[in-house]
Chain A
Amino acid sequence: MSNVRKALRSAIVDPKRAWRTAVAIVRGSLCVAWYRLRGKARIAFPFLVFERVRIAGPGRVAIGPRCVVHPNAFRGLSIVTLDRAARVTIGSDCNLGGLAIRCRESVIVGDRMMSARSLIQDTDFCAPTEHDRGASQIVIAGNAWLGGESLVLGGSHVGADAVLGWNACCDGHTVPEFHLVTGNPVVRPVPIPKLLDLTGTS
């Protein structure tokens, strides 16, 4: 009951925001129905869509409940599966604004993942070429945060609560739990508690 009252109160305080959220819920529901009907993706309800969602390709996509797609640097969510065997699994409560996923084999994203305008690609090239090192699974654990313009390539494993810095490129690396990585390719992971100690914000 308190949740409903809270929602009502915020709708009265900021009706514009409430209207936008309502539109996003409707848009998300249409998305869920559209992709379910076409057999492209199984998206759980509720799904909030503030910016364009695009799912294409012959593979299977599953998105958990309460995911949100906000606009991030003009981009919404774009998922392309490049193979019939490709599987994209996204957990619940994820913030997917600006994310692009191109999957040939498997991409698994945990709950409460946050992304900016970043790219997850489990293969080097989307078009068939003899240069490809081969697709391999990407696992991004719960509560990970992908910074802007970051890139996660095949074979990478991003641990729980880990952060990828701006423009970081994770090329088959393993990012330990609750660590920060930056650079292209990513360099030595820094434990986040140490960083918080250094900046005096812990």
Chain B
Amino acid sequence: MRDALARTRGAWYRLRAQWSAGRIVIGANLRAYCRLSIRGPGRVTIGRGAIVAAAPGFPSEYVTLYTHDAEAVISIGDNVRLHGARFSSRHTIVVGDGVLIEQAGITDTDFHSLDRDRGAPRGESRERSAIVIGDHVAIAAMSIVTKGVRIGEGTAVGPGSIVVRSLPPGVFAIGNPARVIDGSNSQ
């Protein structure tokens, strides 16, 4: 029953995406167990077979995919699981296939400058600030991935981590800032 509802809701989101003039593209078989909020002028792409669910124990913490620029791109691969994940993009966020993100924030911008006027952040560009998350990455609860980070294929980020530097493939990283504690995680 729950699955059927989630599929129906997913189909509704796909239908709504078709009215967005190609700005939002959602692949087949989306299952939405919670609200999926897509806002902003940028482009959002979700691959096939995605699962969107609330964070366990927090039914009100839904999944957000927000773009803050007309040039912003959020591109999500196939068979991803988003459990209360929050995306904010001004440049580019690319997420690979089979990724699991639980109650974590992923932002490719600082939103504000360090200057006193707190204007647009300086020194950000599509090349330098893009976030690339490889295939089969898992990001645990209460984590943040900041701008310019590349996470290698098959890497896991533990709960409560702040990822400020790129991580190699196949490792386990945790802490603030996220440090690699186990390099033997390669599958």
Contact = CB atoms under 8 A, between A and B. Distances in A.
A49 interface: no
A185 to B, nearest CB: 5
A121 B174 CA distance: 14
A184 B175 contact: yes
B56 A131 contact: no
A180 interface: no
Interface string B157-187: 0111110000000001011100000100101
A119 B140 CA distance: 13
A19 B151 CA distance: 53
A133 interface: yes
Contact of B138 (A101, A102, A119, A131): A131
Say whether chain B's binding surface is mostly helix, strand, loop, or mixed: loop
A126 B56 CA distance: 7
B58 interface: yes
Contacts, number: 75
B36 interface: no
Contacts of B154: 131
B57 A78 contact: yes
B57 A124 contact: no
B176 A126 contact: no
13 contacts: A54-B59, A82-B56, A100-B58, A119-B142, A124-B156, A125-B100, A125-B138, A129-B138, A131-B138, A131-B156, A131-B185, A153-B159, A171-B159
